[in-house]
Amino acid sequence: MDFNGQTDRNVDIVFCIDGTGSMSGVIDTIKSHARRFQQDLTEALIDAKSNITSLRVRLITFRDYGVDSDPMEQTRFFELPADQAEFESALAKIDAHGGGDAPENGFEALYYAMKSEFVTGPKDRQIIVLFTDADALDLGARRDSPSYPSDMVDREGLDTMWVCKDSQDGYLRERLKRLVVFAPVGTKYANLVWNRYQYTPVESGEGLKEIDFAEIIKSIVKSATAV
């Protein structure tokens, strides 16, 4: 319900994190703020007239199917603060390595994020946040790799998922979804024309060192409270 002008929401966030060697900067930033993440986000949303009834966070770490033995690592949703210890443990296991030469399999990470078992209440929020300092490979570019998923969609299929044409078959909902991307200028992410999409340009190959945690929180809150 709304109380004192605030909107109660269940909020699900999926962090898609480029786990390749150059990304240690932002990975370390997220790790160092993990303990305060739920509190900082809750306070920021309250200031923006939203109140979190429940907060769940899921992690997807992506690299390159053509180079790495661990190109896509996924966790379940962690409910915060109840699962705080497990959330911090999962973050601690993310080690920036591999990737070879850019680009990486970021679009495949978005595919898995869109398939998350999100909350679907009328005022809830389904937020995907992607961090990368490299471009994305075309979907299917690594299809010859043994570990590449056989059921992966093509680009048209990913576009269809985002516009929720088949929402009755999944959890992603048109009015609830939000996408926040930190990625370099000139990449495929910068050219996305999806709705409910917020893009922040970063330096290429620098691990998002110029992005501080306050900016990440601000971007999430802006996306979560947008109509």
Burial group, residue 101, by CB count within 10 angstroms (0-12, 13-18, 19+)? exposed
Give the model confidence (pLDDT) of 32-76 as tens digits: 999 899 999 999 999 998 889 999 999 999 999 999 999 999 999
pLDDT category at 2 given cuts 50, 70, 90 is: very low
Which residues form the domain of 203? 2-225
Number of domains composing the chain = 1
What DSSP character marks residue 169? G
Distance, in Å, from the CA atom of 15 to the CA atom of 12, rounded to the nearest integer, reads 10
Q: At what angle do helices 106-114 and 155-162 cross, to 10 degrees?
A: 40
**CATH code, domain with 130:** 3.40.50.410
Give the model confidence (pLDDT) of 93-107 as tens digits: 999 998 877 799 999
Distance, in Å, from the CA atom of 156 to the CA atom of 153, rounded to the nearest integer, reads 8
Three-state DSSP at 194 gives coil
Mean pLDDT on 186-193? 95
Three-state DSSP at 41 gives helix
